[in-house]
Amino acid sequence: MNQTKYIFVTGGVTSSLGKGIIAASLAKLLQARGYRTTIQKFDPYLNVDPGTLNPYEHGECYVTDDGAETDLDLGHYERFLNVPTSQANNVTTGRIYLSVIEKERRGEFLGKTVQVVPHITNEIKERMQLLGQSGDFDIVITEIGGTVGDIESLPYIESVRQLVWSLGEKNAIVIHLTLVPYLAAAGELKTKPTQHSVKTLMESGIKADILVCRTEREISDEIRNKLALFCNVKREAVIQSIDAATIYEVPNLMLEEGLDIVALKKLDLPKKAAPDLKIWNTFLRRVKHPKHVVNIGLIGKYVEMQDCYKSILEAFIHAGAANETKVNVISIHSEHIDATNINEKLAGLEGILVAPGFGERGIEGKIEAVRYARENKVPFFGICLGMQMAIIEYSRNVLGFADANSTEMNDKTSHPVVNLMEEQKTITDKGGTMRLGAWKCDLKQDSLAYRIYGKETISERHRHRYEYNSNYVAQLQNAGMIASGVNPDTGLVEIIEIEDHPFFIGVQYHPEYKSTVENPHPIFVNFVAATVQTKKK
């Protein structure tokens, strides 16, 4: 293939219909047919990236190998395709406008009046084609955030219109995801919201090539014919997307509906071989038919919104399948934990994960959870801030440093066992300035970390400003807290563990970002295995 083909995924009626899952599912099917496929997300908000957004606002911030702070949908892309994404896979309106304004300041527009059309739309089109022009992909799927009709999305919709026109209808198509709601009072599914959404799209000059209809009930042939007629699409291009028990069922549902076949036909591409989903379906079978069940407590301070820990929750599904185990994640708010109720709150758990986060709210509850796991020999896993809480807990309760803390929480502590990274001390801008992306880590032989990974050097993704204070490493190590992973370039401790415990490990990085269906992360796999052993005892 010489010409890269483009698929644009837009949404209507309401947000949260699952554009990212549909895009990832289609990409998985095309990849399984032998096409080199990638996905990118264009977000309509003015933040340059989601790095400074409150998790309650936007869910988790996903981080790529090259250090990009991105939308959580990129996590779905990687988990489905098992292919790393990068900065190029996620673009926001803020980044688009920042780039155009910087060009204007440099005088690159030769004194012309800078306008949304053509300057903003040209910048968007350039970004939309960046991955396609690399020569690495046959098909690029682009998800447009928001819904059609939103003021914020208009420049993207106009850019899609221009690209479809310039590339030609065989090289670029539009999939419109919409809602077909069931009204209990009327006892029927309603097509009018979809008709209005498609009409809004057509008013912007774009004709939907494929309709994907989100529904909680089966769509009849009569309704499919009606949607095809009034939305001006082929009958075969009306695709049902019914509610599924797990997002990992969606590729099979889309395969049954023929979404990949219709897309390939419209792009004038051969079907090639039937999709090879053997590994995928083995995983799915294990998810549906587990042999064991364990309860793992997720101790965090954003537990009210599950998307805040999306990658962790998905990593547990992957690791659970690898162990033929259903992992019940029990979300426990760290603000509600203290020494008086800890036994009650954490009773009945086979494992405890202390989650990442920022700021002092809920910190003491996390420290109590670490102490409970350590003293009661409950398998423990700490991620980023979770590792730092383990260091503080050990310093307080084993070394006897009663006020040990992180300078993030208390800059007056006499024992700053966690402190600000040296290169962070002069930084004032918050966006994109943390230690981000993939960093190497050398593992200590005969350690739990080495046994988990099975190799001496690993690479993992980071997102933090504070670190394990190297002035305390020797004291803690002498007291039994082993520094089993160290960055070879900076000397920063990346992994801690303690001996005489069934499973106790803390990591400064975010292993959940690299867990996929085909490659579940080894720490999660071993952690779940340890919880299964704990339950058997």
Residues identified as active-site: 384, 510, 512
- Mode of pairing for the β-strands spanning 62-63 and 139-144: unpaired
Q: Which residues, in sequence order, are CB contacts of 506 under 8 Å at separation 6+? A: 380, 381, 382, 383, 386, 387, 388, 390, 391, 495, 496, 497
Both tokens of residue 323? 């162990």
Find all residues with CB under 8 Å of 147, minimum gap 6, and list them: 11, 12, 13, 14, 15, 153, 197
Distance CA 367, CA 464 (A): 19
Polymer length in residues for the chain: 537
CA angle centred on 56, ends 504 and 506, rounded to 5°: 10
Residue 244 · residue 253 · CB < 8 Å: yes
Cβ atoms of 292 and 530 within 8 Å: the answer is no
Provide the token pair at 44: 């309509």
First to last CA, the chain: 57
Q: Which of 362, 525, 395 is nearest to 452 (CA)?
A: 525
- Burial letters 201-235, b for 16+ CB under 10 A, else e: beeeebbbbbbbbbbeeebeeebbebbbeebebee
Residues near 198 by beta carbon (within 8 Å), at least 6 away in sequence:
12, 176, 178, 208, 211, 231, 232
Distance (Å, whole) CA 28 – CA 34: 10
Among 349, 282, 295, which Cα is nearest to 321's? Answer: 282
Nearest to residue 522, comparing CAs of 514, 437, 439? 514
d(CA 318, CA 512) in angstroms, rounded, equals 10
Q: Which bin fits 140, alpha (ψ -120 to 50), beta or left (φ > 0)? A: beta
Tokens of 151: 């003021």
Separation of alpha carbons 206 and 224, rounded Å: 21
